[in-house]
Amino acid sequence: MEEFPSLYDLTYADYQEDIPFWIDLIGRTEVLELGVGTGRVALPLAVAGAGVTGLDHSLQMIRSARNKMTQAGSRINLVYSDLTRLPFSEGSFASVICPFSTINYVTDLAALRRAFSEARRVLRKGGLFAFEALSWHTYDRWLNNDGLQHVVDRVGKAPGEPIDITYSYQFDAAHQIATQERLYRVTVADGVRKEYLIHWRNRFAFRAEYLLLLEDSRFAIELEAGDYQGSTYSHDAEAYIVVCRAV
Ligand SMILES: C[S@@+](CC[C@H](N)C(=O)[O-])C[C@H]1O[C@@H](n2cnc3c(N)ncnc32)[C@H](O)[C@@H]1O
C-alpha cells in the first residue's frame, strides 16, 4: 500500500473518526507521529496548532504527505526512517503517537519492544505515548479463515470512480500474523481500469503483550479504550487504544 499513496487515500482519506481524539489529546504540543502516511492525521493536528514531526519508512508516503502539506500551506517536519530506530535525541518530544494500526505493521516482538523503547527514549519525562491497534473482534474475517478466503468488496466513491477490492486472507495463528493480498481495480478515466496487487502483513498482538512491553519501557498506562469515545476496552471492541505516560 505504501507504494501507492493515491490508493491509500482513495481507501482511507475520508476516515475521520479518530481525528478529534488526536486533536484533543495532543493540543498544541510538539508531537511525533510514527507512520505518518499521507498526513491524514498530521495535517489536522498541524492545523489545530500542534508542532508535528511525521516519520515514515516509505518515501512514496512521505512525498505524498509533503505535497499535501505544501498545498495546505502547513509546516510539518517529515522524516524518512523506521519507527524502531528513531533519528532523534533523548527527550525531543512532548508526545509520540502511532494512529490507525501502524503498530500492527511491526511483525515481531523484538521489533515491537524496540519501537516502544525508542518512543520512550525520545519523549520527555511525563510525556505522552498513544497508539491504536487492530482489535481481534473487528478483524475476525482476517483471522477466522481456513487458510485462504476470498471476499469482494465494492467501495466506490464518486460516480465513475469505483474501486473494486478483492481480498484474500491467510492467518498464521502460531505467529499471530495475518497476511492479505488485495487486488485493487480502479477506474481511472473514461472507463479505463487499472489493477494493483498489494501485499499486507500485520501482527495481532495480545493486550498483555502490549502492557508488558510498555511497562518494560517505563510507561504508565493512563487509558485503555475500545473506541474513540473512550468506551472500556472489551472482547468486542472496535479498536485497542492506549494512552500512557513516560515515567
Ligand atoms: C495504516 S498507515 C497509517 C498512516 C497515517 N498514520 C494515518 O493514520 O492515516 C501505516 C503507515 O505506517 C508506515 N509504516 C509501517 N511500518 C513502519 C515502520 N516500521 N517504520 C515507519 N513507518 C512505517 C507505512 O508506510 C504507512 O504509511
- Domain ranges across the chain: 5-135+206-246, 140-202
Measured CA angle at 131 (ends 116, 200), to 5 deg: 90
Average pLDDT over residues 104-122: 97
Name which of 73-77, 160-164, 205-209 the model is least confident about.
160-164
For 79, how many CA atoms within 13 A lie in the half-sphere containing its CB? 17
pLDDT higher for 136 or 88? Answer: 88
Instruction: Read off the pLDDT of residues 193-218 as tens digits, 9 standing for 90 and up.
Output: 788 888 889 999 999 999 999 999 99
Q: What is the best residue among 57, 97, 203 to mutate for testing ligand 1's pocket, by most ligand atoms within 8 Å of CB?
A: 57
**85: its cell numbers:** 530506530
Kindly list the protein residues whose Cβ atom lies closer than 6 A to any atom of ligand 1. 2, 12, 35-37, 40-41, 55-58, 61, 82-84, 99-102, 105
Which pairing describes strands 163-172 and 149-154: parallel, antiparallel, or unpaired? antiparallel
pLDDT digit string (tens) for 126-139? 999 999 999 988 77
pLDDT at 2 over 70: no
- Taking the C-alpha atoms of residue 73 and residue 80, their distance in angstroms, rounded to an integer, is 21
Percent of the chain residues past pLDDT 70, beyond the cut:
91
CATH topology of domain 140-202: N-terminal domain of TfIIb (2.20.25)
What CATH architecture is 5-135+206-246? 3-Layer(aba) Sandwich (3.40)
